[in-house]
Amino acid sequence: SSHLGSSGPVFTDEASHRRPRRLDVPFGSEAAEMPGYSMKIHPLGLDSDELEEVLTCGMSEGSQTNCLKCCGLLGFLSFIAFLVGMSSYVFLQPDDQVLIERGDSREVLNGPQYTQFNPFSGRKTWRKATLLNTLQYARVRHRRTMEYRYLYGPQLLFLGADDQLIQVGNLTILQVDEYIRLSDRRTGRERVERGPGRVVIGTMENSTKGVEKAVLLDHDTAVVIQDRTSGTLLLETTCSHGAGPYIPAAGRYVVEERPRLHVLPHELLVVRDENSRTHIYGNGTGPTSAAEGRCDGPSGSSAGEEERGVSFFLPPYSKILRMQWSNYSVPPDPSDPALRLTSLGGASVASSLRRRRTSRSAIVKRQAFKTRPTTWLVPGDFDPVARVWSNRGSGLANLTNVVRSGVVRVTAESGGGTGASLLALTGTTGTSLSFGYVLSRSYTICSLTRYTGSSKQRILTGGGTTTWYHGHWRGLAGVARYGSAVVTQTYRDAVVPDTEWVPMCGKSYGSIPGNVLVGKSAVGVRSGGTPPPRLEVNTGSEKSSFAIGELIIWNTALSDAEMQDAMDYLMRRLMDAKTYVDQLGSSVHSGPKRMLSRIDLRLQKSFYKYQVRTNDNVRLMVEGTVFWRISDVRRMLQVTADPEGDVWSRSRSMVLAAISNVTFGTFTSRYGDVIEQALSANSGDGFLHGRGVVLDGIELTKFEPMDNHTQAILRRIIRQTTQRTIDLERQLSRNEIRREKLAADIQLEGMRTRLIQTRALNTRLEAEKAGATEGTGLANVVRGYLSSLRGTFASVAEQLAMLRFYWTVEASKRDVFFLFNGNASAFLLRRRGNGTKMVLQMPDTSDL
């Protein structure tokens, strides 16, 4: 045998088992260069047959085939093993994590790293790490202990081997006027975190209402809180807490804000406290302690001070007394049937007007919505006998067969939190209602409902479906579901406690969160939904003891603004019920009514218009005004519920009695005296005084007869009187004209007299002036002439006689001259008995 050596073939003698000897045989070029060497030898030193024998190891062809197959299979398996090994060698990225599970053991490998996995050992799960920023947290649950823990950013979160990522959320950031209430599910304890700051929520803590706004306390704002430990309501003001945001402590919940009430000096406000005691505030008299709502020191005005108003906060459990008085502040309508109370058939009319006040005339007032609802149900409109509910909407006039089973009552119901007392339709779990097909495909529904017993499931629910409810569900208040797959609002309690009244509005279409309103909050989280075939109460398996304060439905999806108006209306109703308590009114109808909570101490004015009869059976319609005022409020509250109606009725009886005692003629001639005498005759009457009211006066402003005959006679009398008045006025006008003319004539004559007198005076003055001038000249002539005669005549008398003679001769000469030289005619007259003596006669002269 032979085998290959290090440098050539080695031959062995197997028989002798001798040491193999090496045969050095040249290879390649060396063999070729050897002369005479022609033997064919393999490069390994073997010929082909020997080489084949060596390579096959002496095996047959079949054995060789099997050997080749085994070698190929072994090589293929080695290649597969190489691939598997290379694939198990991986690089983990920085956010990669591998969970390896081997039986009961679990481990994790986190990147970044190179690692070699055993492909045949355990199950491997690849998952990514969670990147948390500064404002994020992760809620993780342990797989074995089921304990929760919170992990906060910033970090790249790698879960443990037994951790499960439940939730990744944002941290709660609170502003300075915000807070959040957290409750521990294991211990039931709660804590309140206030801003500003970042809130870290514990593992077993949750919040039902989320972040809440604090109430800003100031001089005009207080807050009512409920202490869940004692169940009492407390009033927090700036005096007890200080100004600024009010954040309640753990166990205390904000119920509502309360504004400061201001009472003017001429007003009074009646408040009923929790012990049913009545307090009258106003005119300087107000609360004296913080428990009564006083916050700015003691109230009241000292002696000598001017009357002033008061202000205070309405304490918890206290309500303002609201009264229902007759309203005669405007002249009554002539079509009012009360005006016929004194007619001949007055007894039957009066009896027809006497009716008991029902709940229909209570608080609820008709609201003017922009879009009129199709269904509007108010408890006061329900007839428990006929089981018919009158509809105030534009749809069906009445809803019949509303009560399907059980018994309902219409009564005042108070909520569990603030004590808002509303007139409501109540029932138990045995009571079922069906409102019929009141919901269209597109709808808006608003309601005031509440739980009243221990059974707290659904109240308003859909008939024929289990996926529609509104308002209440399984002890939650302020939740709704509108359709098979749409949970509109179920994530938290919107109203706490759940026995409080729930004002809620929802619509079938609209954007979130404004598609569902609960009080002041928009709580919708989904929109859409399918309306149920019927709207019902307690017809399914989930039943409740309930109270329905109001139900309003539109056949369209209102706009957000219109739905907010509807919610404002419901909130006003709740605030009205929380603030006021109604005084029981009169059972007899005495005219139009008005609701008032403030008593005006000033002079009041009431109008009247009714029929009366005179002593001679003349029917008259009289109109006038009654002036009255309130003098004793406490006595008024104790004796009467309608002082204005009492004053009006008493004044009417006085006027009727006064006019019926006089004839028509007497009344028309002095009707003012008739009313004054009636008022004076009843001044000592204790009817109004006993009611704390003072009647200051009655005025009659108009009267007219009711009979046609009397009206015709009065028209003739008026016509005659008018004509007489016209004639008198006409004559007076004439006399006045004459009188004025005569006065003018007298004045004119007087003026003429003064003219003549003035002219005479002027003439005399002119003559005196002229005479004075001529006299001066004549005096000078006389003086000269007398001086010349002094030597001739010794005496003055002789001188004057000579001067007079001279003037006479000169005058005669001038007369003769003017007579014969002028235009005058001269006549000679012979006198009888004087012969032929001729005489010249001139007027006002002596004979010449």
User: Once rounded to an integer, what is the mean pLDDT over residues 706-731?
Assistant: 84
Segment 355-381, tens digit of pLDDT = 333 333 344 555 788 899 999 999 989
d(C-alpha 301, C-alpha 600), whole Å:
19
Segment 464-503, tens digit of pLDDT = 888 899 999 988 898 999 886 656 655 556 677 788 899 9
Q: N- to C-terminal Cα distance for the chain?
A: 241
Segment 132-167, tens digit of pLDDT = 998 888 889 998 898 888 888 899 999 999 999 988
d(C-alpha 685, C-alpha 653), whole Å:
13
Segment 226-279, tens digit of pLDDT = 898 888 889 999 988 889 999 999 989 898 899 999 999 999 999 998 888 999
Instruction: Report yes or no: 461 and 433 within 8 Å, Cβ to Cβ.
Output: no
User: Once rounded to an integer, what is the mean pLDDT over residues 731-756?
Assistant: 91
CA proximity to 446, closest of 400, 420, 480? 480
Instruction: Report yes or no: 298 and 573 within 8 Å, Cβ to Cβ.
Output: no
- Determine the Cα angle at 345 with ends 340 and 350, to 5°: 60
pLDDT for the residue 64? 74
Q: Any idea how long the chain is?
A: 848
Q: What is the share, in percent, of the chain residues with pLDDT greater than 90?
A: 31
Identify the helix (H) or strand (E) that includes residue 673: helix 671-681
pLDDT for the residue 10? 43
CA proximity to 553, closest of 647, 447, 651, 477? 447
Domains of the chain (ranges plus CATH)? 2-58 (no CATH), 359-582 (2.60.120.200), 593-706 (3.30.479.30), 796-839 (no CATH)
- Residue 488 region, left (φ>0) first, then alpha (ψ -120 to 50), else beta? alpha
Burial tier of 225 (Cβ tally within 10 Å: 0-12, 13-18, 19+):
buried
pLDDT for the residue 85? 64
Instruction: Report yes or no: 445 and 505 within 8 Å, Cβ to Cβ.
Output: yes
- Per-residue HEC secondary structure of 360-401 comes to HHCCCCCCCCCCCCCEEECHHHEECCCCEEECCCCCCCEEEC
Instruction: Report yes or no: 703 and 622 within 8 Å, Cβ to Cβ.
Output: yes
Locate tokens 């006065």: which residue?
A: 743
Report DSSP state, residue 200. -
Residue 814 has pLDDT above 50, yes or no: yes
Confidence of residue 63 (pLDDT cuts 50, 70, 90): confident
The edge-to-edge listing of strands for the beta sheet with 9-11 is: 2-4, 9-11, 21-22
Residue 646 has pLDDT above 70, yes or no: yes
Residue 29 has pLDDT above 50, yes or no: no
How many Å is the Cα radius of gyration of the chain?
Answer: 64
Residue 49 has pLDDT above 80, yes or no: no
Angle at which helix 643-660 crosses helix 671-681, to 10 degrees, equals: 120
Residue 19 has pLDDT above 80, yes or no: no
User: Once rounded to an integer, what is the mean pLDDT over residues 332-353?
Assistant: 40
Confidence of residue 822 (pLDDT cuts 50, 70, 90): low
CB burial readout 17-40, b (16+ within 10 A) else e: eeebeeeebeeeeeeeeeeeeeee
Of the listed ranges 78-82, 615-619, 811-815, 832-836, the one predicted with least confidence: 832-836
Segment 587-613, tens digit of pLDDT = 555 668 888 899 999 999 999 998 999
d(C-alpha 648, C-alpha 684), whole Å:
18
Confidence of residue 443 (pLDDT cuts 50, 70, 90): very high
Q: Rounded to whole angstroms, what are the CA distances from 794 to 317, 619, 659, 786?
A: 144, 120, 116, 11
pLDDT for the residue 632? 92
User: Once rounded to an integer, what is the mean pLDDT over residues 92-121?
Assistant: 84
Confidence of residue 554 (pLDDT cuts 50, 70, 90): very high
Residue 602 backbone dihedrals phi, psi, to 5 degrees: -75, 175
User: Once rounded to an integer, what is the mean pLDDT over residues 508-520?
Assistant: 88
pLDDT for the residue 222? 93
Residue 550 has pLDDT above 60, yes or no: yes
pLDDT for the residue 335? 53
pLDDT for the residue 5? 42
Confidence of residue 180 (pLDDT cuts 50, 70, 90): very high
CA proximity to 576, closest of 362, 813, 264, 843? 362
- Per-residue HEC secondary structure of 134-174 comes to CCEEEEEEECCCCCEEEEECCEEECCCCCEEEEEEEECEEE
pLDDT for the residue 87? 64
d(C-alpha 3, C-alpha 23), whole Å:
12
Neighbours of 644 (CB within 10 A): 25
CA proximity to 551, closest of 396, 457, 438? 438
Q: What is the number of alpha carbons within 13 Å of residue 807 lying toward its C-beta? A: 9
d(C-alpha 112, C-alpha 133), whole Å:
20
Identify the helix (H) or strand (E) that includes residue 660: helix 643-660
If one compares 303 and 678, the residue with the highest pLDDT of the two is 678
Of the listed ranges 5-9, 107-111, 347-351, 467-471, the one predicted with least confidence: 347-351
Alpha-helical segments (H) within 44-133: 48-56, 61-87
Instruction: Report yes or no: 456 and 498 within 8 Å, Cβ to Cβ.
Output: yes
The average confidence (pLDDT) of the chain is 80
Segment 423-437, tens digit of pLDDT = 899 999 999 999 999
- Determine the Cα angle at 675 with ends 672 and 678, to 5°: 150
Residue 504 has pLDDT above 90, yes or no: yes
Q: Rounded to whole angstroms, what are the CA distances from 750 to 225, 740, 753?
A: 99, 15, 5
Identify the helix (H) or strand (E) that includes residue 808: helix 796-821
* pTM higher than 0.75: no
d(C-alpha 100, C-alpha 161), whole Å:
8
Instruction: Report yes or no: 254 and 225 within 8 Å, Cβ to Cβ.
Output: yes
pLDDT for the residue 359? 36
Amino acid at 503: P
pLDDT for the residue 93? 87
Report DSSP state, residue 836. T
Of the listed ranges 36-40, 74-78, 536-540, the one predicted with least confidence: 36-40
Residue 739 has pLDDT above 70, yes or no: yes
